[in-house]
């Protein structure tokens, strides 16, 4: 007996795929809508000044330090750990970099600003990575909970900052070094970069479809893929158009974008990244399948330290000095950005791109409230409420499955 198979119309297939995509990415869409709402809200309250090219450029620049910390925090939380020391580590690195510029390079490398700036970057990243090695070793090989180790690390770094600065402000404003966080690409270079990114988006879409077809996976509608790719291409072109109205694409934003691509690739396409998600999803199953949990968590904290080092270098370049308050509160912003971006507090779930959107939300809130001259106390209160609401939404979505 032959069963009658109902014919599926192309329009029904597209609707089904759209519905499935919406259900799978409902939290991502929610935070994007929240970001758009925040921008419209502050643009209305500031008579449009909030979205003018200069403030739009500053908004993205302000998110870079939190962004570097948040993309590393994703993998830390994904493995079921936490790092409370990243803010102070970035602050300590900024102070060390400033100290070397103000007291060491002026004697060892007088009148060699480029060499001094280059060595300052290497020293800052090395200090961050070394601290990550120490914390990672204690957490993974000595089995001390990450909460305790990084809390202790935060106190240690606080003391180290006081020792280096001696309570004073140290300048870090050499010409080449300040370009790292305060520089811009020429307008033409920004458009060339945008064209390359757009070309890559379409190339990646066609290559992804080709791979799925070769492995026998079901393909989504070509029109749907083209529409999504065109949407992201318009976002890239729109961003470059707006920032070019001011001074051009910001160097720190470009650095953050390149770093995010690398970390995202590591998280999704390497054994290191897949093991991190497996450990966070089911630690016992990961152990029984032969994954070295100690080694993986160790390297996750080394990576976090390295990214904190980069964040510290950008911070020193951005503010132009090292001070005793350096890095204050950045650890909370980074954790909040990762969770706002969909990283589960229970581990096993989270994306680098979601964390970047979360960092942009935190930066958008701070920037808008500062434009309105809202007192810092109310800024902290509002950020706390947003974070609690984000976690509540995450828990609610998971219950509804």
From CA 46, how far away is CA 116, in angstroms rounded? 42
From CA 231, how far away is CA 233, in angstroms rounded? 5
> Which residues, at least 6 apart from 298, have a Cβ–Cβ distance to it below 8 Å?
136, 137, 139, 140, 141
Rg, Å, the chain Cα set = 23
Q: Write the pLDDT tens digit of every residue in 188-241.
A: 999 999 999 999 888 888 888 888 788 777 777 788 888 888 988 898 999 999
From CA 226, how far away is CA 223, in angstroms rounded? 5
Residue 250 bridge partners (DSSP): 184
From CA 145, how far away is CA 155, in angstroms rounded? 16
Q: Are 272 and 296 in contact (CB under 8 A)?
A: yes
pLDDT band, very low/low/confident/very high, at 12 (cuts 50, 70, 90): low
Residue 184 bridge partners (DSSP): 250
Mean pLDDT of 344-372: 88
pLDDT at position 156, please?
95
Tell me, letter by letter, the H, E, C secondary structure of 176-208: HHHHHHHCECCHHHHHHHHHHHHHHHHHHHHHH
pTM of the model: 0.88
pLDDT at position 22, please?
57
Residue 226: C-alpha distances to residues 172, 192, 232 (Å): 47, 22, 10
pLDDT higher than threshold 90 for residue 155: yes
Which of 212-221, 239-248, 376-385 has the highest mean predicted lDDT (pLDDT)? Answer: 239-248
pLDDT higher than threshold 90 for residue 78: yes
pLDDT band, very low/low/confident/very high, at 185 (cuts 50, 70, 90): very high
From CA 35, how far away is CA 43, in angstroms rounded? 12
pLDDT at position 38, please?
87
């Amino acid at each position: 007996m032959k069963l009658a198979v109902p014919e599926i119309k192309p329009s029904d297939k597209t609707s089904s795929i759209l519905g499935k995509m919406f259900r799978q990415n409902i939290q991502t869409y929610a935070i994007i809508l929240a970001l758009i709402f925040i921008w419209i809200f502050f643009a209305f309250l500031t008579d449009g000044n909030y979205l003018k090219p200069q403030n739009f450029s500053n908004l993205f620049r302000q998110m870079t330090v939190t962004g570097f910390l948040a993309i590393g925090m994703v993998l830390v939380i994904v493995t079921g750990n936490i790092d409370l020391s990243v803010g102070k580590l970035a602050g300590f690195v900024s102070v060390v970099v400033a100290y070397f510029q103000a007291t060491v390079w002026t004697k060892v490398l007088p009148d060699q600003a480029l060499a001094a700036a280059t060595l300052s970057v290497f020293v800052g990243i090395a200090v961050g990575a070394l601290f990550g090695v120490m914390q990672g070793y204690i957490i993974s090989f000595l089995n001390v909970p990450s909460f305790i180790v990084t809390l202790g690390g935060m106190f240690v770094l606080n003391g180290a900052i006081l020792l280096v600065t001696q309570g004073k402000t140290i300048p870090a404003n050499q010409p080449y070094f300040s370009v790292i966080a305060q520089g811009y690409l020429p307008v033409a270079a920004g458009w060339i970069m945008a064209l390359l990114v757009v070309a890559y988006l379409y190339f990646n879409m066609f290559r992804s479809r080709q791979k799925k077809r070769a492995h026998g996976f079901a393909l989504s509608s070509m029109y749907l893929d083209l529409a999504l790719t065109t949407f992201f291409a318009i976002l890239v072109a729109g961003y470059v158009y707006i920032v070019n109205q001011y001074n051009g694409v910001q160097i720190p934003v470009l650095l953050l974008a390149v770093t995010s691509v690398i970390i995202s690739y590591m998280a999704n396409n390497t054994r290191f990244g897949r093991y991190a998600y497996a450990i966070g999803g089911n630690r016992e199953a990961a152990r029984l399948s032969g994954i070295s949990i100690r080694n993986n968590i160790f390297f996750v904290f080394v990576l976090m330290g390295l990214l904190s080092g980069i964040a510290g270098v950008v911070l020193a370049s951005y503010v132009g000095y090292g001070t005793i308050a350096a890095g204050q509160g950045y650890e909370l912003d980074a954790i909040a950005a990762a969770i706002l971006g969909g990283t589960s507090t229970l581990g096993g779930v989270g994306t680098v791109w979601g964390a970047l959107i979360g960092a942009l939300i935190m930066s958008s809130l701070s920037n808008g409230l500062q434009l309105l001259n809202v007192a810092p106390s109310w800024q902290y209160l509002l950020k706390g409420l947003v974070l609690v609401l984000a976690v509540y939404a995450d828990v609610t979505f998971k219950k509804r499955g």
